[in-house]
Amino acid sequence: MNDLRKKEIIEKAKEQNVKFIRLQFTDITGVLKNVAITIEQLGKALDGELMFDGSSVDGFVRIEESDMYLRPDPDTFVVSELSPWLTQQNGREARLICDIYNPDGTPFSGCPRVTLKRAVAEAQKMGYTMYVGPECEFFLFQTDRKGNPTLETHDNAGYFDLTPVDLGEDARRDMCIALEKMGFEIEASHHEVAPGQHEIGFKYADAVTTADMIASFKFVVKTVAQQHGLHATFMPKPIAGINGSGMHTNQSLFKDGVNAFDDPTGEYGLSKVAYNYIGGLLRHAKAICAITNPTINSYKRLVPGYEAPVYIAWSHRNRSPLIRIPANRGLSTRVEMRNPDPSCNPYLALAVMLRAGLDGINKELDPGPSADINIYTMTSDEQSARGIESLPANIMDAVAELDKDELIKDALGEHIVNKFKEAKHTEWEAYKLQVTPWEIKQYLSRF
């Protein structure tokens, strides 16, 4: 970082009476981590001189090679209003998002943000910039007397309901205000389909910025919910029998300031680049699923009947396939991938989707015809006749698909692939040992 930029950040922090700075990053699972420093240490942090123990973070390094360095991105400096005990009078709090570096000064191959930057660099070599607009859904649950989350939804409202039925409106409003103060441009806020389920939409940005925003969004939502005595969760399917939470991911490529997906003369107004990009997403969809839907619970959402995609197909109008093309054209022409859920690591999810799309462009992959009927109502024979396959049924099937896909493994890098697989195998083995309430209900009295 040059001295002028460093001086600018330090002066900005002092002008806004910042006392504490959170140096944030995510582990491989997408959980946000941070090291908090005081304003006196900001200069050292901006010089990339602050170390932390990487062996204590999931998926990072072994204990014998634990020293890692935080390198803050100065463009992510934002003053936060989330700590009610910190004010303009007694000092405020700011955040910087960091890349992780090795002691020898090289980027750490296990850093999710560095991984996305590698994918972005591949796109830049081809002249493209990726823009992404996510749709992050979440649930608000009541808490018990000790503040622990329950499974009692905050309300029984439905899609687009208003107060007094929608009891989450005040919390959502405060979330939007907090997000706007951190630089988000909020586009819409509303109650979702399921009881206690909500969505706050914010404006698209380039891939790295969007991934940063998703990580910050989840932190803000959970923090503000807690201030309202509620628990916000981005768990994909917390309650059986109702809709789960997704993170539909709208993506486009721009070249020389022009949307490369848009072509008024093309079929459905789409360019060849757009069709090839869709072809790449479909070709690698099963392996991508391991990253965009990374938990055992993710696959409880990916079932027919709850508006979540199951079938690997695309459409320019209907919502039953994996990929949908929203109606907007021109600068707003985009591809919406509907299977990702908000439990994913946003950096890794965007990295694998981008690399898959670029592979489609490089290989001129044909996505096939648009599936313009409700795939859920088709028989298996009708699906087979159209060449429509299904997403993996569980996380281990998805990991097996990941293991077979060399392009997606290359997008992630050997370190992340190995650590991710190791974590998922451990999670699956622990899950298999559980005796669930469903099993007790089904078998305890019968046998």
Residue from 122, 336, 366, 389 carrying the catalytic annotation: 336
137 noted as active-site residue:
yes
Cα gap 47→41, rounded to integer Å: 10
Residue from 71, 154, 172, 248 carrying the catalytic annotation: 248
406 noted as active-site residue:
no
Cα gap 217→82, rounded to integer Å: 12
Residue from 99, 161, 192, 401 carrying the catalytic annotation: 192
Residue from 199, 263, 359, 405 carrying the catalytic annotation: 199
338 noted as active-site residue:
yes
364 noted as active-site residue:
no
**What is 231-249 written as a DSSP string?**
EEE--S-SSTTS----EEE
Cα gap 220→174, rounded to integer Å: 10
191 noted as active-site residue:
no
Instruction: Give residue for tokens 């916000």.
Output: 232
Residue from 99, 135, 212, 359 carrying the catalytic annotation: 135
Please provide residue 11's backbone torsions phi and psi, each rounded to the nearest 5 degrees.
-65, -40
53 noted as active-site residue:
yes
Residue from 190, 228, 319, 329 carrying the catalytic annotation: 319
Tokens for 250, please give them: 């709208």
CA angle 335, 341, 344 (to 5 degrees): 105
Cα four-point dihedral sign 55, 61, 62, 67: negative
Return the amino acid letter for 55: S
Non-local CB neighbours of 75 within 8 Å, separated by 6+ positions = none
Q: For the stretch 251-290, what's the b/e string if a residue is b when 16 or more beta carbons lie within 10 angstroms of its beta carbon?
A: bbbbeeeebbbbbeeeeebbbebbbbbbbbbbbbbbbbbb
Cα gap 127→66, rounded to integer Å: 37
Residue from 137, 161, 263, 359 carrying the catalytic annotation: 137
Cα gap 260→256, rounded to integer Å: 9
Residue from 198, 338, 359, 401 carrying the catalytic annotation: 338
Residue from 53, 75, 422, 439 carrying the catalytic annotation: 53
Cα gap 320→378, rounded to integer Å: 11
Instruction: Give residue for tokens 């083995």.
Output: 429
Cα gap 56→213, rounded to integer Å: 25
Instruction: Give residue for tokens 């079932």.
Output: 303
Cα gap 101→114, rounded to integer Å: 9
Q: Can you give the C-alpha Rg of the chain in angstroms?
A: 22
Cα gap 230→223, rounded to integer Å: 9
Let me know if 338 is exposed, middle or buried by CB neighbors in 10 A (0-12, 13-18, 19+).
Answer: buried
Q: Is 387 left (phi over 0), alpha (psi -120 to 50) or beta?
A: left
Q: For the stretch 398-407, what's the b/e string if a residue is b when 16 or more beta carbons lie within 10 angstroms of its beta carbon?
A: bbebbeebeb
Catalytic residues: 53, 135, 137, 192, 199, 248, 319, 336, 338
